[in-house]
Structure 1
Amino acid sequence: MFESTLERDLAYILPNLPTVVGVRDQVGPVEYVDEDGVVHNHTFDFVADHEDGTSTAIAVKPARRVGPSGLEKTLELISDQQSGFADRFVVRTGDHITRDRAANARLLHRALRGRNEADIAEILAVTNSMRGAAAITAILANSRNFGRGFMAVLCLIADGVLEHVSKGPISISSLVRVRRRAATNR
C-alpha cells in the first residue's frame, strides 16, 4: 500500500540504485522534540540501506507541500536528536521522482522478475568488448537473441553492470555503456 504515486514510484526506483542493498518502508515512528518542547512522532516513507553500511531516511512529499508542511525542519530536528537512526535525512519530491525514472524502474523490475541467466550471459559476452556507449539495438544485433536480449540488457542495467546514458525512458534505441565502477544490487 502506498499513500501516493510518488511513494509507489520511489519504491520502484530505490532498489535499482547501484549503491542500495535494501529498502525498508514506513519506518518509525521516530520521536523528536520541536523548538517549543512538544514531543512529536514521524514515520519515514523509506529507509535505504547502502552497500557502504550507511542509510538514508527518506520523506516523500509533493514539492509544493514541502515548505508549508515544515518537513525540512522536522528532518533537521530528527537528525540532531536521533543521530543513530540514519546517516542522512532527505526529502524526495517529483523533482527527484520523475516519470521517466519511475517508468525505467518499473521496466527493470519487470525484467528482473523474468530473469534468464543464459540470455544475460549471451548479452554480457557482447558487452565485454564494448568501448564507450552503444545503442541497445547494436548490442542485440551482435547477439543471437534479439527478442529476449532486450530484457537481458535491462537485467544488466539493474545489476549495475551497464548504465543507461540516454535521456528519457529506456528503449531499444537507448545508449548504454559498461558502468565505470561496477556496483551490484545482487
Structure 2
Amino acid sequence: MSDLSQSGGIRLPELRRGNRKTQVGSTKHFTGGIVLGEGHGVRLGLESHLEANCAMVLAYRPNIKEIIEQVLFEWFDTFGEIHKHFIDFVAVREDGTTTGYAVRPTERASQKYLIELARIKAQSISLGVLDDFRLFTEKDVCPVELFNARLFHSVRRPDQFGDPVAKDVVRSMTGVVRMGDLVEKTRLDGMGFRALVRLIRSGHLKTLGYERISHDVMVFKAQEV
C-alpha cells in the first residue's frame, strides 16, 4: 500500500528488513509479497502460500506490533558445528517480547527437522534472541482468524468521511447490537461497514462470539471512541 507524503507525492512501502532476500519467482512454488503496517507500510517477501497465511494472521492479532521476515540465527549442532537458520517470521508484540516462527507443511516437517528446531529454540531463547520459537503448519491456520485478518487488511486504509460517521454511531450505542443495524445507522452502506470493521480492528468494538465478521455478527462497545 502506498501513502501520500506531506509533499503531495506517493511514498512507497519500506523495503524488507530481513537478512535474506526471498525469491521473486519460481516455477515450483508460490512466491509473492505483502505490505503490512500502518500508513505506507512495510513490504514482506513470501515464498509459500502457507507463509502468506501465516503473515496475515500474525499481523492482525491484537497484541502484535510488527512482523519481520527471514531473520538469521546461527546455531550449533551436537558436534559444535555452526549452521545458519533463517527464521521465517519474527513477531514482535506490543510489550517487546518476540516469537519466531518456522513455517512448514506437516508433511515436510521430518523428525530431523523437528530436532533441529528444538535446538534452535533452546539456543535462541537462552541467548535472549527470542522469547519463544514455534513451528507453524497448515493446522495452525484458523479459517475464522484468516477470514477476519483478510477483511481487516482489505479495509486498513482510513476513510476521512466514513470513519467519523461510524464513530458517532458507536458513541451512541448501548448493549449488544447487530453489526448490520449499526451499518444502517451510518447510512453509508459498504463505506459504513468498512468503517465499523476498522473499529473492531482497533478494539473499540468487539464481537460477542468468535466468528467471521459480517452484517449478522453481534457487537458491543469495548472502548470509548
TM-score bracket for the superposition, by shorter chain length: 0.7 to 0.9
Distance 1:47 1:133, change over 3 A: farther
Structure number with greater Rg is 2
Aligned to 2:130: 86
SS of 1:27's partner is strand
| Cα shift at 1:34 | 2.2
Higher relative contact order (CA 8 A, sep 6+): 1
Structure 2: distance between partners of 1:53 and 1:12: 20
Deviation per CA, 1:34-88: give whole Å up to 9, x if none: 23433322111111111111111111122343353533x3333223323321111
Deviation per CA, 1:158-177: give whole Å up to 9, x if none: 22322344454322222333
User: Which residue of 43, 49, 60 maps to 2:92?
Assistant: 49
Kindly report structure 1 stretches of 4+ aligned residues shifted beyond 6 Å.
none
Structure 2: distance between partners of 1:133 and 1:6: 36
Distance 1:27 1:158, change over 3 A: same
Aligned to 1:125: 168
| Cα shift at 1:105 | 1.5
Structure 2: distance between partners of 1:130 and 1:36: 64
Aligned length: 178
Between Structure 1 and Structure 2, the one with more helix by share is: 1
Aligned to 1:134: 177
TM-score, normalisation: structure 2: 0.69
Structure 1: distance between partners of 2:111 and 2:175: 45
Matches of residues 163-178 of structure 1 in structure 2 within 5 Å? 163-178=206-221
Structure 1: distance between partners of 2:154 and 2:184: 22
SS of 1:128's partner is helix
Give structure 1 stretches of 5+ with no counterpart. Answer: none
SS of 1:138's partner is helix
1:98 aligns with 2:121: no
Residue type of the alignment partner of 1:19: N
User: Which residue of 47, 52, 62 maps to 1:8?
Assistant: 52
Deviation per CA, 1:79-114: give whole Å up to 9, x if none: 33233211111122222223432232122111013x
Deviation per CA, 1:111-152: give whole Å up to 9, x if none: 013x20331222122223445543210211222322311110
Structure 1: distance between partners of 2:66 and 2:60: 10
RMSD: 2.4
Distance 1:175 1:5, change over 3 A: farther
User: Which residue of 133, 148, 151 maps to 2:194?
Assistant: 151
Distance 1:5 1:99, change over 3 A: farther
Matches of residues 26-65 of structure 1 in structure 2 within 5 Å? 26-28=70-72, 30-65=73-108
Aligned to 2:119: 77
SS of 1:41's partner is strand
SS of 2:65's partner is strand
Percentage of identical aligned residues: 32
SS of 1:31's partner is strand
